[in-house]
Amino acid sequence: MEIADLIGPEAVIPNLRVTSKKQALQELSRRAARLTELPERQIFEVLVERERLGTTGVGNGIAIPHGKLSDLDRLHALFARLENPIDFDAIDEQPVDLICVLLAPEGAGADHLKALARISRLLRDRTVCEKLRGSESADAIYAILTESAASHAA
């Protein structure tokens, strides 16, 4: 499974302007609704419910909110580089500026976990994150995500 299988160029947000975790999840849910053709509220509720279980702020300025939706037909991901870092209740208590949302079909099981591991592996690479933080355009960010993913294949 490649990052390009999860995320398309239209799912990259190069300068998301939000001031809180809730606002970030709302805006990302709105964008995900366009991509998945599912109700924004349904996506938002799944992401918030997952956050209640424990933060998806994994540290080093990265969050990977995720959830499963019964009406999805395949895995979908969105990537956002925030204009300004926000508090995301991350495990290292540092603000977050890179967010990758992963949405999976209810029965995705192992595929969901593999996709999460893939995204996590990619975003643990400090060089990749520096490049993402230094990129201004959606095209450049998409290129970094997909090119870097090839070198991080499991």
Strands 96-105 and 76-86, sheet pairing: antiparallel
Q: Which one of 66, 76, 112, 152 is the catalytic residue? A: 66
**Residue 152 a catalytic site member:** no
Exposed e or buried b for every residue in 29-51, given b needs 16+ CB within 10 A?
bebbbebbebebebbbebbbebb
Q: Where are the alpha helices (DSSP H) in the chain?
A: 3-6, 21-36, 40-53, 110-123, 126-134, 138-151
Which residues are catalytic, by number?
Answer: 66
